[in-house]
Chains A and B, each alone.
Chain A
Amino acid sequence: MKNKKLLFTLFIAVVIAQLFVPFKMILSKEDTLKTGTPYKFITAPIDPTDPFRGKFIVLSFIENEFNIEDEKEWKRNEIIFVLLQNNKDGFATIKSIVKEKPAETSNDFIEAKVDRVYATEKNKRILIQYPFERYYMEEFKAKDAENTYRESQRDNMNKTYALVYVKNGEAVLKDVLINGKPIKQIVEENSATNK
């Protein structure tokens, strides 16, 4: 009987751990969404050969590279911190990139990864892999969303951007918007008019 009690206590501990992990994920993300600073990242046209992947759209961003001085200092897949600022149009740009985590109060920043290091004689830069390159959509709408996203990229007048909340290195992608309208809403409207 005592053995059974101990077993059950341990089981409860495991149950709590299993609940804690997803809870922790939610809490930090919710906190960033509620108290973080929103930044607008202009998206770049995506490679049309990149196949549609599952139920999310793959985003790529204009502000995804940064000039460096010495290519030997940077390694692929290395963790970096991207310090952000807004340009005059209110879209996010990179202020600088550091390897050490900046102090919390100094500036808004995002933890990201080095995607690739480019180095030629004149041009040395790194490509950044942001932690918000996927936007999940409802299964049947994802294909339409992908098309809408692509069409908007073709038209230069359109401003397509990702709304990202940033707090203490963590970034949460809230929405993808085309000219200020959420992509989900556009897809819904399109499918309504098509019917």
Chain B
Amino acid sequence: MNISKDLKELVEANVISEDIAGNIQAFYNKKENTSPNKLFIVFGILGALLVGLGIILILAHNWDNLSRLTKTVIAFIPLVIGQLLCGFTLLKKNNNTTWIESSSVFLFFGVGASISLISQIYNIPGNITSFTITWMLLCLPLVYLMKSNSIGFLYIIGITFYACKIGYWTYPHVETYVYWLLLLLILPNYYLLYKKSPKSNFLVFYNWLIPLSIIISLGTVATYFEEIMFAAYLSILGVYYLIGNSNYFKAQKLRNNSFLVLGSLGTIGVLLSLSFSWYWDDLLNIQFQYNGFKPYAEIIVTSIFSIIAFILLLKQFRKEFIKKSTLIEFVFILFIILFLIGLKTSFPVIIINLLVFLIGILTIREGARKNHLGILNYGLLIITALVICRFFDTDLSFIIRGLLFISVGVGFFITNYWMLKKRKSNEK
């Protein structure tokens, strides 16, 4: 580490004493020894990933000249090698993250390769959903036995693919809740990791993958009453935003605070799509009262998520909280009220537009208060996005649209200029 050079310079300049320099040096030496080499782990995982995928591709060539028996034996080779590597790791290298992660990833692809090759050898057309589930369930125990987190990530990607395949890409639509059960099976590992090493990079990956997977898969529960899913989405995004505002996450860098980023961006995105009148026109046309009110899955899911969001909101609720609020954490409640009004009239579309505008303004204010150019411009971007959305509504005259664009553009200049000027005067 270069620090020894700097320390020497500091000692020579009499900034720190030699004792302190020695202590600092000792501290960094110790830290270096205990932390595993991150780069090594990353390359280990990537290497195993590439080799595993490469083997699948080579075997997929489907060598005609080999007999059925030979092909079958070959199909087992990557699987058995992966198992031997994992067994060796478990017995001899169970403290070495690089060994754990790379042997597990290799075995993961070994399992997939053997199943898909057997399908190929026997001309099984193969149902990709059952294949994915079998593959994931056969590898899930490795997460807990090998304590491998990369298998956890691959597992989440796999079950999300499964949910999409069965929920969005299959016709006719089939109801399935297997995804949620599969997701529950990985959560204990997520929790254990959080308890054991809250600062690990693996946790950051989990923090991104799990909420993303839930957002992607949430839409699969909608079958009868899709309009209410907007409430479900806003509730879950509200939950994310509130989690992102908890003390643990607030102490993190923004790029590691996946919950805050997803919650905020997601809420704005959903609100922008609600700012068009089509949704509210659809809502007016709903005749769900004719089917009678049944406990549809989407209603149950919406209720669960909004109750969770509400509890989190109450927990974080303080006086100063309101002062600093950018309203995003209240959007889910507001929307549920607007949704109920929207069943009778399409008036809420105006409130949604005002709400987005207000969130934009409050975000700009927050940016100014924190002297943070990023937040300030995020607020401006929200308003710009709103203006662009209104640009597509043909009923506004060109003059009004033009004026709107000019005023937002001028707003960008003025606020940024003002902020930079304020910074300069502070420095003086």
Interface residues of A, Cβ cutoff 8 Å to B: 4, 7-8, 10-11, 14-15, 17-19, 21-22, 25-26, 29, 55-56, 76-77, 131-139, 141, 172-174, 184
The answer on a CB contact under 8 Å between A76 and B145 is no
In Å, the complex CA distance between A174 and B123 comes to 8
Interface segment, one of B39-47, B71-79, B203-211: B71-79
In Å, the complex CA distance between A34 and B119 comes to 18
The answer on a CB contact under 8 Å between B75 and A55 is no
B158-189 vs A, CB cutoff 8 Å, 1 = contact: the mask equals 00000000000000100000000000000000
| 23 sample A-B contacts, Cβ–Cβ < 8 Å, listed by A number | A8-B91, A11-B86, A11-B87, A14-B142, A15-B87, A18-B107, A18-B111, A22-B79, A22-B118, A26-B118, A56-B123, A76-B172, A131-B125, A132-B125, A136-B120, A137-B62, A137-B64, A138-B63, A138-B64, A139-B60, A139-B62, A173-B123, A174-B123
The answer on a CB contact under 8 Å between A11 and B123 is no
Q: Which chain B residues numbered 50 to 91 have a C-beta less than 8 Å away from chain A?
A: 60-64, 72, 75-76, 79-80, 83, 86-87, 90-91
Is the CB of B10 closer than 8 A to any CB of chain A? no
What's the least CB distance linking B83 to chain A, in Å? Answer: 5
Chain B hits for A139, CB < 8 A: 60-62
Chain A hits for B126, CB < 8 A: 134
The answer on a CB contact under 8 Å between B172 and A22 is no
A15-B83, A17-B138, A131-B125 given; name 8 further pairs at CB < 8 Å. Answer: A4-B94, A10-B145, A11-B86, A14-B138, A19-B83, A26-B122, A55-B61, A184-B64
In Å, the complex CA distance between A21 and B160 comes to 22
In Å, the complex CA distance between A14 and B110 comes to 13
The answer on a CB contact under 8 Å between B79 and A19 is yes
> When A18-B79, A136-B62 are in contact, do A29 and B125 touch as well, CB less than 8 Å?
no
What's the least CB distance linking B72 to chain A, in Å? Answer: 6
Chain A hits for B63, CB < 8 A: 138
Is the CB of B141 closer than 8 A to any CB of chain A? yes
The answer on a CB contact under 8 Å between A21 and B134 is yes
Chain A hits for B134, CB < 8 A: 21
In Å, the complex CA distance between A6 and B61 comes to 40
Could you say which of B63, B90, B123, B125 has the most chain A C-beta atoms within 10 Å of its C-beta?
Answer: B123
Chain B hits for A19, CB < 8 A: 76, 79-80, 83
Is the CB of B399 closer than 8 A to any CB of chain A? no
In Å, the complex CA distance between A56 and B60 comes to 11
The answer on a CB contact under 8 Å between B62 and A14 is no
Chain A hits for B114, CB < 8 A: 18, 22
What's the least CB distance linking A175 to chain B, in Å? Answer: 9
> When A7-B145, A10-B145, A138-B62 are in contact, do A26 and B72 touch as well, CB less than 8 Å?
yes
Q: Which chain B residues numbered 113 to 147 have a C-beta less than 8 Å away from chain A?
A: 114-115, 118-126, 134, 138, 141-142, 145-146
Chain B hits for A56, CB < 8 A: 123
Interface residues of B, Cβ cutoff 8 Å to A: 60-64, 72, 75-76, 79-80, 83, 86-87, 90-91, 94, 107, 111, 114-115, 118-126, 134, 138, 141-142, 145-146, 172
The answer on a CB contact under 8 Å between B64 and A21 is no
What's the least CB distance linking A96 to chain B, in Å? Answer: 24
Chain B hits for A173, CB < 8 A: 122-123
In Å, the complex CA distance between A137 and B119 comes to 13
The answer on a CB contact under 8 Å between B118 and A133 is no
Report which of B64, B90, B172 forms a contact with A11, defined as CB distance below 8 A. Answer: B90
Chain A hits for B64, CB < 8 A: 137-138, 141, 184
The answer on a CB contact under 8 Å between A77 and B172 is yes
In Å, the complex CA distance between A139 and B57 comes to 11
Chain B hits for A10, CB < 8 A: 141, 145
> When A21-B115, A26-B118, A137-B62 are in contact, do A8 and B125 touch as well, CB less than 8 Å?
no
> When A10-B145, A18-B79 are in contact, do A25 and B62 touch as well, CB less than 8 Å?
no
Chain B hits for A55, CB < 8 A: 60-62
Nearest A residue to B137, CB-CB: A17
What's the least CB distance linking B119 to chain A, in Å? Answer: 7
What's the least CB distance linking A16 to chain B, in Å? Answer: 10
What's the least CB distance linking A24 to chain B, in Å? Answer: 10
